[in-house]
Amino acid sequence: MSLRILIAVCGALSLLVIKPMSGFAAEANKELRFGSVAMDVPTVMHHRLTPLTQYLTKTLGKPVRLKLANNMSGAIDDVATGAVDLAYLTPVAYIKSNKKGNTRLVAKTVTKGRGSFKLMIVVKENSPIKSLEDLKGRSFAFGDKAALLQRAVVVGSGTKLESLGTYKFLGHYDNIVRAVMHGAFDAGILKDTKAYKWKDKGIRILYASDDLPPYNISASSQVSEQMLVKLREAFLSLDANNEEHKKIIKALDKKYDGFAKTSDAEYDVVRKLVAPFNK
């Protein structure tokens, strides 16, 4: 082989070596980064999500690594900008990330067989408050200040926040239950599962919202369609009747049964509720 031919061959080979892979082929060889809203401190969220990332690593045949944000806005930005490939999000967080970065839904969570939930306004069982109108001038307990949907449901019920005597954010639903039952607040808002647990045990349900879409798994717009299909298959294949799968699901939340199909249209009810807060 002449020197000229040898140089030409080596040059062609070098181009093949350095030419980057594109599309799904390149994506298949890199790790997936998994983010989440900060429902707990990062160490707790890491513990809750680790079994799920291990399952995904095995199912997808590629590493899935946690990259957790410190707050809600950070989690939204991470998936909207592609800093993470997928994330565990609240309904409002999904809507914001979808608007900002065309985030796409992978699957929604299922709680006790239901792929939706309600938020409920509750009062003490023997409270003189009998209607929403009676909330005027009363004290009201919300949970996390970042949980915009709670305030949106109260406003959506026809109750203006400024008509309340006072309202405070107590962090968690358990705090709200105790505050209302002990008379520290006249009313509060709870997720349906918590409200039903305490109904007739010191709590009375005054108002229930329409069905709302639950927490979800969403993917960055930078995730390919092929990978999106694989992710959906992986989440929808989790079966609570399988003991190994059950451990993965319950690690995320003890009340979860698994995941189900969802669509962007399901979140329109939430968009309508939070619209007054976006002006």
Dig out the tokens for 152 from the structure. 């949106």
Report CA 130 to chain centroid distance, whole Å: 33
Domains of the chain are 21-114+213-264 (3.40.190.10), 119-208 (3.40.190.10)
Dig out the tokens for 122 from the structure. 């509750």
pLDDT over 90 percentage in the chain: 78
Higher pLDDT, 144 or 247: 247
To the nearest whole number, what is the mean pLDDT of the chain? 89
The pLDDT assigned to 135 comes to 98
DSSP 163: G
Tens digit of each residue's pLDDT (9 = 90 or more) over 166-224: 999 998 899 999 999 999 999 999 999 899 999 989 999 999 999 999 999 999 999 99
- Report the distance separating Cα 53 and Cα 65, nearest Å: 7
The pLDDT assigned to 2 comes to 55
Residue 22 confidence class, pLDDT cut points 50, 70, 90: very low
Tens digit of each residue's pLDDT (9 = 90 or more) over 145-164: 878 999 999 999 999 999 99
- Report the distance separating Cα 135 and Cα 143, nearest Å: 18
Region 122-148 average pLDDT: 95
pLDDT at 269 over 80: yes
Burial degree of 130 (CB within 10 A; 0-12, 13-18, 19+): exposed
102 φψ region: left (φ > 0), alpha (ψ -120 to 50), beta (else) = left
Q: Is 111 helix (H, G, I), strand (E, B) or coil?
A: strand
The pLDDT assigned to 70 comes to 82
pLDDT over 70 percentage in the chain: 89
pLDDT at 229 over 70: yes
Tens digit of each residue's pLDDT (9 = 90 or more) over 28-85: 558 999 999 876 677 888 999 999 999 999 999 999 999 998 888 899 999 999 999 9
Backbone angles phi, psi at 2, to 5 degrees: -70, 160
Tens digit of each residue's pLDDT (9 = 90 or more) over 190-206: 999 899 999 989 999 99
The pLDDT assigned to 172 comes to 84
Tens digit of each residue's pLDDT (9 = 90 or more) over 75-109: 999 999 999 999 999 999 999 999 999 999 999 99
